[in-house]
Each structure stands twice: as C-alpha cells, then as structure tokens.
C-alpha cells in the first residue's frame, strides 16, 4: 500500500504509526511535535508479531534523537484497511526537517502461518534495526498549525523468509509519501481477496480485511487497471493458499498452489487515481 513493487508476488505492506516521544533532549516545552505511524499491513500469514524496542529520528541540525525507547509488541497484520498504530510521540523536538527514522527491533518477533497454528520465532541475525528515508518538517510550537506526521509502510512479503523451516526477519520499511491519495472498496463473495493496481511498470497491491474492505494509499496519480482476485473455496487448503509466503497474488500468477479452489477475478481497466483523493470502488461481488 504502497511504493511501486517489481513483482505482484511481493505485494504486502503494513504501515506503522510512529509518534515522536521520550526525546533525549528537551526544549522547555518550546519544541515542535512529530508523529510516526504505521498502517495497512495485511499479509500472507495469520499473525506477524514484531517487537519495536526504540525509535529515533534524524535531522542535520539535531543529529539522531530518540523519540521512544519503550518496548512494545505490534501485530502488523492487524493494520488493515487504513488502521494505524502509534509507536512514538514527542511534542518537544527541535524545529527543522527530519530526513530519517531508525526503528530498532527486539528479539520477541514471531510469525503464525495459519490461524490456531504454532508461532515460529523470527531470526534477525545481527541486523537489529532499519533506517527509513522520511520527509517531516517539524515547526516550533509557536508557529505550528499541526503536528508533523510520518506514515511508514512495512512490507511483509519482503520482510519474512523461510528456508528449511527456519524463519528470518529482514524488515523492509518505507514512507508513504501521500496517504491522502488512493483507492478503497469492499469485496463480497470470498473470504479474502488480493487487490492489484497496475499501470505500465508501476504496481501496487493489498488484501481485504475480515469484512472485505480494502484501502490502498500512497498511489501516484494516473490511470490504472484494477484487478481483484479471490479463491471461491478457502476452507480447503487455506494453509497452502495463504500461508506459504506466496498468497493469493502468487496463486493468481500460476504459483505452486494454483490448484486450490476456483480463482474468481474482477477487472476494472480504467481506474483514474486523482492526487489528494481516495477513489471509492464501492461494493464489488466476486462470482
């Protein structure tokens, strides 16, 4: 939900909300406010729990500043259909343009392949943190019209890997530049559906939530082909269909699990995305 991706198989993103908090330096109440957020994180697993241990932000004038060092567990797959979670907040940052955020991960990271199944620990090796390019202008308290806000996208498909039964976590996180531009709708007739927008070499995608709703933000303005795909019978082979790291989008491309259920598809060839608007597709029934 999200930045362009090279392959439709790599199709998942979660946005994590970070709000600047617990700054190491204080400005006696005269500083500006910054919020960092994460959202839209449906994925190919039943649950993905990550431990956020610390959040820093960077500006040329201040250097690296810690805005939160309170550890918390976030299930990024609960952040669907525009849901966000705030990881940190600060109202006392020095005014200026903050160009990087650094998210530190703890060791309590795990993935659940199918609902009710066991959780598998995620090995990060020596990685431990990820640096994200951002663009957040924090204004001094006396000048600020509103708090600065950063919305981050956690790409589940690119972040989790499994080799010989060992699961690893290599977080892929980017900023959503324009959360006010996107597409939304509600899908009926299937338990879960993949939503894919493509235009030339650009591709964006996401999944519906438990109620069939979808919201994909951060799109570039233009005309897209919108494809919605879902399995007619997810009760048989659910683990294979959406638990193996390929998911419905992989199935739609003729992946290893393409034989599970009948693939239902709806295509809208000329969806016009307008900057600053969330285009509503309304109610869509796959049959």
| pLDDT of the residue at 106 | 94
Number of domains in the chain: 2
The rounded mean pLDDT for the chain is 77
pLDDT tens readout for residues 144-181: 566 788 988 888 777 888 888 899 999 988 888 888 99
> In this structure, are 21 and 141 located in the same domain?
yes
> In this structure, are 231 and 145 located in the same domain?
no
Let me know if residue 103 belongs to a domain: yes
> In this structure, are 157 and 23 located in the same domain?
yes
CATH of the domain at 203: 2.60.40.1120
Instruction: Please state, in angstroms and rounded to a whole number, the distance separating the CA atoms of residues 42 and 38.
Output: 12
> In this structure, are 199 and 255 located in the same domain?
yes
Lowest mean pLDDT: which of 83-87, 156-160, 211-215, 250-254?
250-254
Let me know if residue 202 belongs to a domain: yes
> 84 to each of 21, 125, 231, how far by Cα in Å?
17, 28, 27
Residue that finishes a domain, picked among 175, 193, 219 = 175
Do residues 13 and 39 lie in contact, with contact meaning Cβ atoms separated by under 8 Å? no
Q: Is the pLDDT of residue 271 over 90?
A: yes
| pLDDT of the residue at 127 | 81
Predicted TM-score of the model (pTM): 0.70
Residue that finishes a domain, picked among 175, 196, 228 = 175
Let me know if residue 8 belongs to a domain: no
Q: In what order do the strands lie in the sheet with 222-231?
A: 202-207, 193-199, 222-231, 263-273
> In this structure, are 86 and 153 located in the same domain?
yes
247: pLDDT confidence band, cut at 50, 70 and 90?
very low
> In this structure, are 33 and 145 located in the same domain?
yes
Domain range for 250 is 182-285
Residue that finishes a domain, picked among 127, 155, 175 = 175
pLDDT tens readout for residues 11-68: 223 334 433 222 233 333 446 677 766 554 445 678 899 999 999 999 999 999 999 9
* 240 phi, psi to nearest 5 deg: -70, -35
């Amino acid at each position: 939900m999200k930045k362009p991706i090279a392959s439709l198989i790599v199709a998942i993103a979660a946005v994590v909300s970070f709000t600047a908090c617990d700054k190491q330096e204080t400005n006696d109440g005269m500083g500006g406010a910054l919020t960092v957020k994460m959202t839209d994180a449906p994925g190919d697993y039943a649950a993905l729990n990550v431990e956020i241990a610390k959040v820093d932000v960077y500006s040329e004038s201040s250097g690296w500043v810690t805005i939160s060092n309170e550890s918390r567990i976030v299930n990024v797959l609960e952040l669907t259909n525009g849901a966000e979670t705030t990881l940190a907040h600060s109202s006392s940052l020095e005014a200026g343009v903050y160009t990087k955020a650094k998210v530190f991960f703890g060791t309590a990271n795990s993935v659940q392949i199918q609902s009710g199944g066991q959780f598998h620990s995620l090995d990060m090796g020596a990685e431990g943190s990820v640096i994200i390019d951002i663009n957040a202008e924090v204004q001094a308290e006396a000048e600020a019209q509103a708090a600065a806000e950063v919305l981050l996208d956690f790409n589940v498909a690119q972040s989790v890997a499994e080799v010989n039964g060992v699961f690893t976590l290599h977080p892929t996180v980017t900023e959503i530049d324009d959360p006010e531009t996107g597409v939304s709708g509600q899908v009926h007739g299937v338990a879960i559906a993949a939503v894919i927008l493509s235009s030339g070499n650009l591709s964006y995608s996401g999944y519906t939530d438990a109620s069939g709703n979808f919201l994909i933000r951060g799109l570039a303005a233009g005309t897209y082909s919108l494809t919605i795909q879902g399995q007619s019978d997810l009760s048989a082979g659910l683990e294979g269909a959406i638990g193996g790291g390929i998911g419905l989008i992989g199935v739609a491309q003729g992946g290893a699990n393409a034989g599970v259920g009948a693939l239902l598809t709806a295509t809208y060839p000329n969806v016009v995305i307008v900057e600053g608007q969330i285009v509503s597709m309304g109610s869509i029934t796959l049959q």
